[in-house]
Amino acid sequence: DTGVSQNPRHKITKRGQNVTFRCDPISEHNRLYWYRQTLGQGPEFLTYFQNEAQLEKSRLLSDRFSAERPKGSFSTLEIQRTEQGDSAMYLCASSHIQVTDTQYFGPGTRLTVL
């Protein structure tokens, strides 16, 4: 049983560049979530998918952010024209809603925008 995996684990980029992160959820989990965590705060919800459908997006998710889950399995989160304020840990979680409401998190991707 493999857990949630995220790649890359670390990403350093220059302001204005685009970045893309990948999340592979636990097999057969039909819900996938993205959160962002900054220093000293708890994770904040960004968006979630049920299978391939993106059902909700937070106000935190500006137009520069886009997420996809094309086949209902892995997901990508893209940030265009990165800003220094985008520096954070980006966390992915998955759950199987028919089994449990518990979300299991991946190790996260640490983004640093210079």
Partner 1 sequence: DQQVKQNSPSLSVQEGRISILNCDYTNSMFDYFLWYKKYPAEGPTFLISISSIKDKNEDGRFTVFLNKSAKHLSLHIVPSQPGDSAVYFCAASWGTSGSRLTFGEGTQLTVNP
Q: Does 25 bind partner 1 (CB under 8 A)?
A: no
Question: Taking a C-beta distance cutoff of 8 angstroms, is the pair 21, 35 a contact?
Answer: no
Q: Which of 61, 94, 95, 113: binder of partner 1 (CB under 8 A)? A: 95
Whole-number Å distance between alpha carbons of 36 and 12 = 16
CB of 81 to partner 1, least distance (A): 26
Q: Which stretch binds partner 1 (CB under 8 A): 11-19, 63-71, 73-81, 91-99?
A: 91-99
Of 29 and 113, the one with the shorter C-beta distance to partner 1 is: 29
Whole-number Å distance between alpha carbons of 53 and 112 = 29
Q: Does 107 bind partner 1 (CB under 8 A)?
A: yes
Site string for partner 1, 29-68 (x = CB under 8 A): --x-x-x----xxxxxx--x-x----xx------------
Determine the straight-line distance between the first and last CA of the chain, rounded to whole angstroms: 37
- The alpha-helical segments, DSSP class H, found in 1-114 are none
Whole-number Å distance between alpha carbons of 102 and 41 = 21
